[in-house]
Structure formats: C-alpha cells, structure tokens
Amino acid sequence: MSQEDLKMLCEVMKMLYLRGLISSTGGNASIRLDDNTIAVTPRGFIEYPKYMLKPEHISIVDMNGNHIRGWRPTTEVKLHLAVYRVCKDCRAIIHTHPLILPFLPPNTEIPIDTELKYFLEPKICWVEELRPRTEDLAQATASKVKEGCNIIILQNHGLVTTGRTLMEAVERTEAVDLASKRLVIMKLLSMQTH
C-alpha cells in the first residue's frame, strides 16, 4: 500500500467538495490496493468533514468487508465491494451527489463532448431509485458495472463512476456532471427561442 495512493484519495475528496460534487459529510471514493484489500474513505461526520481527510483516516477493508485499520468505512462500503467483486479492471470507484444528474428522467441522452467521449470511453447506465446504503443498491450498481457500464446514475440519489485509475474515475465524474449542466442550459436556450 502506497502512502501516495492514500494522499491522492484525500486530495480527490477535497477537489470533489470544491467542485460541489459532494457535501462535507456525503460522498465517498475508494481504490483497490490488491486482490484482497481496498482503501475507502471513512463515513462522514460533522466534526471532521470529507475535505479535511488525511491518509491515516482512510479505512482499509478486505473484500469481505472486514475493517483492518483507519477510521470506520463509509456506509456505502457494500457498494464499493460489490463493484470490485464483478470488475477486475476497476481500480477506483467514486460516488458523488451531483446537483442535476440524478434528477434527470431515466435514460436521458447526455451529450459528452467528442474529445472526452473517445478518451474516456463512457458507458452510461441508470439504476432505479433504491434505498441508499443497502445490499439492493450495491447489487444493482454492480450488475450495471458487470454489463460494462463505467458511469452509473443512481436515480434521485447520485453518481458512481469507475476507472482503471483514480484520475480516470474523476475525469468520468467531471465529464458527465458537466454534460448534464450543458444539457439543461441547451434546453433552457431552446425554450427561449420558441
């Protein structure tokens, strides 16, 4: 396990907060350390916001969900583990709560710009509204990843992206969030011209 990996996880959480993609207590991310362990952000609590995480706070858990060290893992740890179990190429997972994306009608066509489309190879899928932190949500998300999806929109809840690296998952998160904002602006502009 590299200390640099844990530092990068903390930096990513700070960046996601500054971009308005997570709140001080909500949202989570993880990286696969080896075949049997992952590093995942801890559960949020008011006294210590996600944008202030340090490497020693990051939770290390095995693939059975046993807590090895660090702070207690995010309450969405089931989702992370379920995805890693079905996707050997996934080295990172990010779960955010964007402003617009989860509230678009299911299966809305989202216009990701051409350069990112070819670079990030996005495959967007939707998961129906399910209770957060449950095995049902974890398995529904994992089943979409198993189908090859790397951007999963959780209806009325949030967004899950995967990547071969943490930064690839970040890029997918930012690209689809930007695309959803662009979509709303385009719709508003088209309403003004009618």
Burial class (CB in 10 A: 0-12, 13-18, 19+), 57: middle
Nearest residue to 43 via CA among 15, 71, 21: 71
Catalytic residue of the set 47, 56, 76, 115: 76
| Number of Cα atoms under 13 Å in the Cβ half of residue 155 | 11
- Residue 76: active-site member: yes
CB of 94 within 8 A of CB of 12?
yes
Q: At what angle do helices 135-146 and 77-86 cross, to 10 degrees?
A: 30
Other Cβ atoms within 10 Å of 194 Cβ, number: 4
Distance CA 176, CA 159 (A): 9
Write out the catalytic residue numbers.
Answer: 76
